[in-house]
Every structure is written in structure tokens, then in C-alpha cells.
A and B are shown apart, each in its own frame.
Chain A
Amino acid sequence: MKVLVLGASGFVGKRLVQELAARKDVSVVAGLRREQAEFRTLGIEQRVIEATDAQSVEAGLGGITHVINCVMGSNDVMVSGTKVLCAAMSSAGCKRLVHFSSTAVFGGSEGLVGDNAPFAANVDAYGRAKIECENLVRAASGIESVILRPALIHGPGAEQWTARIGRLLRWHRLGDLGAAGDGLCNLILVDDVVQAAVRALDVETVSGRAFNLAEPNPPTWNRYLMDFAREIGSLPVHRLPGWQMKIETKLLAIALKLAQIIAGKIGLGRWLVPDPITPSFARLFAQEIRFDPSGADQVLGLKRTPYREGLAQAAIWFRASSSRG
């Protein structure tokens, strides 16, 4: 099997390439926009591919039997990239596409959500783009497809759900949120996501089948924030008063978001600007949604890392990386 990982320079893509490179039965190709020295040293084949450009993608598919699509980008890039990829794979006669979607397709739903639950109506633009991509993948002719929907990916290297959370905890901008943090925090460790994608390459399943990747018994957000604060030693955990969250989401968020955009435009690193806590981010903390992971468990044979162990791994990485930076 010759596997192309599209979006190989991304957080999950990079881990996937490394994982597949270590396997003897697979030959892996890293598909990315710019070659990476890291892959070169490891002797990994790299192909420069522009995901939205049909010709570029077709050229990149030479000899490839399986594709794992973890391209990130703007919503338009994700949708048009998926369209281009499906068409190119059909004409190139590829066997299978493992496509990364997201639990964002379930938007603001609540309760227990299974793999085959209908998409939610109250979905943000990112979720809508992900839904469109899933529909394109399912409609693709001549190829098999497996859709993976990871929840919030955390662990070593996870910027959004480990590093950002860690920073906000250190600044006491997150902590014990009280009633605002009673929602469920659906985490999945990056290693488990990689494991699921590798299994999805050759597992026998119905084409177009989607798998939610999450903890079966997720902690509440309060629990996660307090546990992680404890792991990274940001103590004592602060109980955030309601007024602080209001200032964050109603005033600070807009200013910080603007500052991030300006910093990006004038070439300063976005990391110079503190993370905003946007209203949609804050809404997550109260959302009582849970994903049924039994499909991934049974069909993909996913062996999830226990919550505590994942948390410890994430904390070790966060402490090491923040003391360096």
C-alpha cells in the first residue's frame, strides 16, 4: 500500500507520516505545500501539492493507492480541496480515501451523538464546510472512503486544546468556571487519532462510513480545566467569577481577535497576542454533548489512551515547551 498523507506538515499529518514511515508494509508519501527538512532527514518521500489545484493533485497521486486527507485551511480551501481530491482519486484509480472531518458537524447539539446521527442545523461556518466535505466524499465514485471525526485533539503538540488551554490556565483566564463549565469536554489524544487513521486504511467497512473519535465518558470542562491546571502546576485553580467571563467574551475577545489579525498582517507572530476567549469558544464549556465511540472501538479496534494518561502526556509536553519558549 502506498499512502499519501495530504496536509503532512500539519499537526496530525506530521504525526501520521512519522507513524506510517515506521511501518514496513506501507510506503508513505508526505503531501505538502513546502518540503520539510525534517522529512528529508528521515528519508521520507515528499511531494509538493497545492490541494485546490486539480493538476497538482493529479500529479501528486502517481502510484498512490491510499490517501489520508488532513488538509487544514480556510473553509473554502477545505471544500474545494476535497472536491479536487475526490475527482482526482477516481480518475487515478486510487483505492481508498481516509478523510478527516470533525465533530463540529454536530454543531450545538446536545445529548449522546452516534456515528450516524444527522448533522445539526445549528452549525457554524467551519462545521458547514466540514459537512459539505463529508457529502463530497460520500458522493465520490469509484473509491472507498472512511470518514474520521475527531473531537478536540489534545496531547503533545496540540496547539488548540493543550497549549492554548495551558496558557489560559496559567494566566488565570480559565479555571473553575462554575455553572458555565458544566458542559462535556470531548477530548481525544493525538496518538489515538493517528492510530484510528492508520487502522482506517485497510479495515473492512462500508464505504462512506464515519467514525466519531472521542472519550466515551468525557469529563466536564470544569473537571478537565482543573485537572490540567493541576498537571501543569498552575495552582491554586481560580474560580472565575461570571463578570470576568463576560469581559473576556464581550470586550476582550474582539480586541484580541483584531490584534491577532493586525499582527498577522504586519508580519508579527500571532503568538505575540494573547489568546482570545470568543463567545463560541466559551459556549463549548456549557455544551452537554457526548459522542458514542463504539463504532471506532468495534470496527477500527481503537484502543483509547485513558484520560489521565493522556492528560499527563499533554502536561509533560506543555511544561517542556513553555519553559523553552
Chain B
Amino acid sequence: MSGLGGSRLNSQLCIVGAGPAGIALALQFINTGIDVVLLAGGALDHDEKSQALYAGEVADEALHSPLTEYRHRQFGGSSATWGGRCMPFDPIDFENRDWIEGARWPIAYDDIAPFYPEAQALAEAGDCIYDARQAVEGGMRPMIAGFEPEFFNPDAIERFSCPTNFGRRYGEKLRRAPNIRVLLNAHATQIMRAEHGNAIEHIVLRTLEGAEFQVHADRFVLATGGIETARLLLASRARDPQGIGNAQDQVGRNYLCHIAGTAGTLSVTAPATPVFHGYDRAWDGVYCRRRLALRPEVQREKRIGNIVMRLHHPRLPDPAHGRGILSAIYLAKPFISYEYSKRLHGGDGLSASLVLRHLANIACEPFATAGFLLNWARRRTLAARKFPSLIVTPRNNVFSLDIHAEQVPNLQSRIMLGEGRDAFGMPQARVDWRYRALDMETVRVALGLLKDDFARWGGGQLSYDEAEIPDAMLRDGAYGGHHIGTARMGASPEEGVVDSEARVFGTTNLHVAGSAIFPTSSQANPTLTIIAFALRLARHIKADLQPSTKVSIKGAA
């Protein structure tokens, strides 16, 4: 980036941000003759100084993790820490659900569905098959043999990416593309509207070495993640005092994550009932896992949000689970990264007697524990397609439930500009994450329905304390890493920040890619849908831009 000081780069398409959205988008332009500049606000790998630019304020630290966590300001973006869980949004997510205020998309499920197979390919998550009966030849093993719930679909699954670090996986492909320029350590600090009219003219970029330059383009795409997108739009006040796209005070509102946590005790008591809560592998090696998905007709009838549940091992902090490996992992939490250790933190401190009881668990199962660790090393640490998560079969078929629920739209949950400034003098983000009563209601009702399903079956019991549901769901605060809705799609500027083509209202040439544009959060983890929307946006932009004659095509004649 040296030598760019004060200069100006011209391109046809400028993509700000090189995470899964920005990279998926840029890949679609290889050999199109369209001149693309892809800006990465960081280096090829993690770099403390770049990462520090993400620092910001959090209104309630018990409810939201610090802004430097779960996000990676580097080439490849937060895919550097991605867990890899993939599943598409559901058709019901796009419906007008009149019982959920603000749950409105200006497009239908069918508008995005065609892009999922290619998104899966880029995410390296295999075939776009989300039915347990078809995902694996001969069907996946049942979660609980003989259990046929009425309210939940037991054949819903999730699939796992390697997980693919988009920077490492596609960096070389982009580097070789003759019409794509990737600029590292180029930090966007301002979006500049032209003096007259509604077009964006250029983006101001700074480097940590002190250089400043501009990128001019016909089209701009912000693909900087749910928090930075809002921050950048709000901070671009040079010609728009409220920030760009914010005439209706919509930017940064509706900040959604997921309502997630572990709750309940599920005891499968039917004799000789195989219970399997682990992974099956599809033909291409992709790990697939079953989940219980609340059926859409039940969501409509009960007037609640979307939700899924998985069987989970008992909570780690309580040594009563009696499993050596669970105790070993619990004791090893200081060595596990923040993102993955967060859920290991128990409410109470680790007393000497607790440590002893965990150690006793390990001592009682030395071979099982050692075997598990060896297997973990082989199938996760050394593997390129990683075993996705900790699977430990509990004693006596007693499980907890891992819950992942939609957070319903909420205009009071916001990303704003804070008081602090980053190294460039740009205002830091301030997060005020909030949830609504309906969020807890979704979990409460769904747990009740699952309890009914088990009672009707007779082979197991689900027990939980209703009063503890909010605590269980908020133990870790907003579910980390899913930053949704801050520049949501809407039918009009009163309803959103971008239109159905992800173009910022009030501008002619500025688009947003990423989960910022989702008006609702679904039960689904966002990455796959982020990629699908990037592919949809690429098709739209490609139709509008003509190949440039200035771009030379490398390669043999």
C-alpha cells in the first residue's frame, strides 16, 4: 500500500470488505473484463493494530461481547474464526408474519433460493440437501429412534463448511485474476457522495502508515459486516449530516443476533433406544447433523419466531456429568479461544472442590479421555475438513438442549456512533443490543411443545424450569458473531436502509452485502445466506456494468 499517498484509484466496481461476502462477490467477476477493486481493512493474517480499529463501546457488557471479539479485521474477514455451520433460511422467514412486528422482506424465498447451491459450493458445504433422509446415502442415523414429534421436524439438518477461511481458500484465485485488484490494509473511513446528485463518488481510505487515498468507481458495495456497515454509513457525514442512507434514521437500527443457549434436561428412558447426536458424513466428506426444527405451521399457530434445537451434552461446569473428557475440556478453558470458550464459563467461580471433582472424573476415565483427545487431534486439529464440535455421549441418555432461535426485529436494538475515536479519528461504534419479550416467548413455547412431544411419545422426559429460560438464553448475551439487520432491506426508505436489490435508499450506486441487509434473523446461522445474497447482488451488478476495455486479460491467446 505504500506509494499510494494522496492518489486516486479508478475502477468500475469497488468492494469494501474482504470477508465471505466481499470475496464471494469478487469471485463472480473473474474474467468478466469488469475492473474490480477489493479492499481489505487488514493484512493477510491477524494483526493487532488493524484489529484495534474494531474497538468500540457496549451499552451492557453482560449482554454483548466486546466489539473486537467474533470479528476479524483481515483478508478473509471473520471466516478466520467461523465455526462453519450452514443452513439456508426457511421459506417462512420471508413471509409477512403479522404476529411479529417488523418481520417483512421485500423479496420472497424464491428470490434467494436459486443462489444457495452455488453458495454451498463456495462455503465447501456440499450438496444443497437439507433433509436427513437424503443428505447421506441410505439416510442419516435417527436422533432418537422411534421418536416422531408432532411439532418439530426431526429430519432437519445442518451441514458444515471445512470451515473455509475465505482468504486462504480464494486469495490465490483473486490474485491471479487479471481484472481484480486486491488492496490489503486499506481502511475505509468515509463514503463520499458527489457534490450534486445521489451517486457515491468515492471512498476515502487510510493506512496505518499514514497514507490517504481515494477509490472512485461506478458501483460500490459495502461488505464490512453488520457492525462496520452501520458505523461507516453513519460516520460518512461530510455531505450528509445524518450519515449516508440515514435520512429516515434507519441505519444501525434493528440490530439482531440470535437467542441461543443450553437449557433443559432431556432423559431418554425408553429401553434399547439408540440416541445419536453426532455427525454423519455425506459422500463428499461434509459433516451433517440432525436438529429439531419447529414446523412453520406451528410457528404460525403459536405466533412465535423460528427456532431449532439440538441434543447437547450436559453442561460442562457441573461435574455431575461424570465424563472425564467434559471435565478435561472444562479445566482447559483458559487455553481455548475466547469465541469458543465463552460458553464454558459457568456462573460460579472454579472452587478447589469443583476442580477436585472434575479431576476425579478424568481419573475415572483415563483411557476414554486419552482416546477422545487422540481422535480430536486426528479429526480436528490435523484435518483439513474439521470435525465440527465436541460430541460426547452422556451417561444414561441424559442430554441438555442446545437452542438456536430467531431474534425478532427490534428497532430499539442499535448500532450507533460512540464517543470514542479510532486511530484515524473515526467515531467508534456503540452497541446497544436489546431483545423483546417475544424472543423469550419463542423459546418458552417451543420447549413446552417439545416437552409435549416427548410426553406423547412416552419414551423420554424433558424437564426445565420456565423461570430460568431467560437466564439460560442470556447467559452468554447476544449470540456472538451474528450481526444482522443494521442496514435492512425494505420496500421503502421508511421500512429499511436498502431496497430489494440491496441498494442504499437515496443513492444510485451504493449496495450492501452481508447480514446487515437481513430484516429478520431466522433460526439459521447467517454465513451461507450472506454468500447467497452476495451472489444475487453480483448477478444484478454484472447485468448493469459493461466490460472495460482498459482491462487486459492475462494468459495465452
Contacts and interface: CB of A to CB of B under 8 A. Distances in A.
Interface of A: 106, 109-114, 117-118, 120, 175-176, 178-179, 182, 226, 230, 235-243, 286, 288-289
A239 B285 contact: yes
Contacts of A289: 556
B170 A226 contact: no
A112 B555 contact: yes
B284 A109 contact: no
Interface string B2-41: 0000000000000000000000000000000000000000
Nearest to A106: B556
B76 to A, nearest CB: 12
Interface in B263-307: 281-285
Contacts of B385: 176, 238-239
Contact of A178 (B176, B281, B384, B557): B384
Interface in B158-175: 162, 168-173
21 contacts: A106-B556, A110-B555, A111-B554, A111-B555, A114-B557, A117-B556, A117-B557, A178-B124, A178-B162, A182-B172, A226-B284, A230-B284, A235-B283, A236-B282, A236-B284, A236-B285, A238-B285, A238-B385, A239-B285, A239-B385, A242-B384
Contacts of B176: 110, 288
Nearest to A114: B557
Nearest to A119: B556
Contacts of A113: 556-557
Centre residue among A109, A236, A238, A243 by max chain B CB count within 10 A: A236
Contact of B285 (A176, A182, A242): A176
Contacts of A110: 176, 554-556
Given A176-B284, A176-B285, A241 B383 contact: yes
A181 to B, nearest CB: 11
B421 to A, nearest CB: 38
Contact of A239 (B162, B170, B553): B162
Interface in B516-557: 553-557
A113 B556 CA distance: 6
Given A179-B172, A226-B284, A241-B384, A118 B555 contact: no
Nearest to B555: A111
A272 B168 CA distance: 37
A110 B282 CA distance: 33
B352 interface: no
Nearest to B280: A236
Nearest to B285: A236
A236 B282 CA distance: 7
A241 B382 contact: yes
A113 B554 CA distance: 12
B554 A179 contact: no
Nearest to B171: A179
Interface of B: 124, 162, 168-173, 176, 281-285, 382-385, 553-557
B283 A237 contact: yes
Contacts of B555: 109-112
A239 B553 CA distance: 32
A117 B284 CA distance: 37
Nearest to A241: B384
Contacts of B383: 239, 241
Given A117-B556, A236-B284, 8 more contacts: A106-B556, A110-B176, A113-B557, A238-B285, A239-B383, A241-B384, A242-B384, A288-B176
A25 B170 CA distance: 54
A224 B192 CA distance: 46
A109 B171 CA distance: 20
Which of B173, B281, B285 has the most chain A CB within a 10 Å cutoff? B285
A120 B384 contact: no
Given A178-B169, A179-B169, A241-B382, A236 B281 contact: yes
B536 to A, nearest CB: 23
Leading 9 A-B pairs by shortest Cβ distance:
A111-B555, A239-B385, A241-B384, A236-B285, A239-B384, A109-B556, A236-B281, A110-B555, A113-B556
Counting chain B CB atoms within 10 Å of each CB, the highest count among A175, A179, A242 belongs to A179
B464 to A, nearest CB: 37
A223 to B, nearest CB: 10
Nearest to B557: A117
A179 B554 CA distance: 20
Given A237-B285, A238-B285, A239-B385, A179 B556 contact: no
A239 B382 CA distance: 11
Contacts of A236: 281-285
B168 A179 contact: yes
A120 B283 contact: no
Contacts of B168: 179
Contacts of B557: 113-114, 117-118
B466 to A, nearest CB: 42
A226 B176 CA distance: 24
A237 B173 contact: no
Contacts of A112: 555-556
A245 B516 CA distance: 39
A237 B556 contact: no
Contacts of B283: 230, 235-237
A117 B556 CA distance: 7
Residue of B172, B281, B283 with highest tally of chain A CB at under 10 A = B283
B352 to A, nearest CB: 41
A246 to B, nearest CB: 12
Given A111-B555, A112-B556, A114-B557, A237 B284 contact: yes
Contacts of A241: 382-384
Contacts of A240: 384
Nearest to B383: A241
